[in-house]
Chain A
Amino acid sequence: EAGVAQSPRYKIIEKRQSVAFWCNPISGHATLYWYQQILGQGPKLLIQFQNNGVVDDSQLPKDRFSAERLKGVDSTLKIQPAKLEDSAVYLCASSLGSQGNTEAFFGQGTRLTVV
């Protein structure tokens, strides 16, 4: 089966610019996650969607980050304006459902460098 698709793979922007990332989950997966992985750290959940509703966005810096999942399929994550500390790999993942701890499948990530 096709995996989680993310684009772009790499992005370099200047601080205070805006950037958007796109994710296409595995077909039929109701739950979609965005994780931020800073160099040397494990992934940290930014936001979790169940279909097109937000389940958990407690660690999303809402003053600059936003995410949406229109029609419960694809999702976009936006940063505006970007800061130097936003440099990280942004991982999208999907799973079948919200309960029962079904396996999460990860995309290859988008590496963001803010200069």
Chain B
Amino acid sequence: AQRVTQPEKLLSVFKGAPVELKCNYSYSGSPELFWYVQYSRQRLQLLLRHISRESIKGFTADLNKGETSFHLKKPFAQEEDSAMYYCALSPGGYNKLIFGAGTRLAVHP
């Protein structure tokens, strides 16, 4: 079964603290993994994808095939990082996305 699990509904941290949003997936092949973000009153948008291996807005994510995880990390959280974060998996072949339930990140001053 193809599934994405985000175990935390809410992650609350103070500004400057490290952040790790957890994502685990279930897929028998070689998936593409993504993080999408939705800021308040804005549309869902791509944050980063594992094949790019890039850092966006200070966020990074490493695909760990052994643990089937794709956790999102940032060393120092900022208030503007407060948003809803969705981990998503794309099975090989076509671009459809299978989303997790999302984690709300709240960064307090």
Q: Please report A residues at the B interface, Cβ cutoff 8 Å.
A: 3-4, 31, 33, 40-45, 48, 55-56, 91, 93, 95, 97-109
Contact = CB atoms under 8 A, between A and B. Distances in A.
Contact of A56 (B46, B49, B86, B96): B96
A45 to B, nearest CB: 5
Given A42-B4, A43-B44, A101-B49, A55 B101 contact: no
A48 B94 contact: yes
Contacts of A97: 95
B94 A109 contact: no
A99 B45 contact: no
Main secondary structure of the interface of B (DSSP, over half): loop
Identify whether the interface residues of A are mostly helix, strand, loop, or mixed: loop
17 contacts: A3-B43, A31-B95, A33-B97, A43-B86, A45-B96, A45-B97, A45-B98, A48-B95, A48-B96, A97-B95, A99-B94, A99-B95, A101-B51, A102-B95, A104-B97, A106-B44, A107-B43
Contacts of A95: 95
Interface of B: 4, 6, 32, 43-46, 49, 51, 86, 88, 90, 93-102
A33 B96 contact: yes
Contacts of B100: 42
Given A101-B49, A104-B46, A42 B94 contact: no
B94 A55 contact: yes
Contacts of B99: 42-44
B95 A42 contact: no
B93 A99 contact: yes
B32 A101 contact: yes
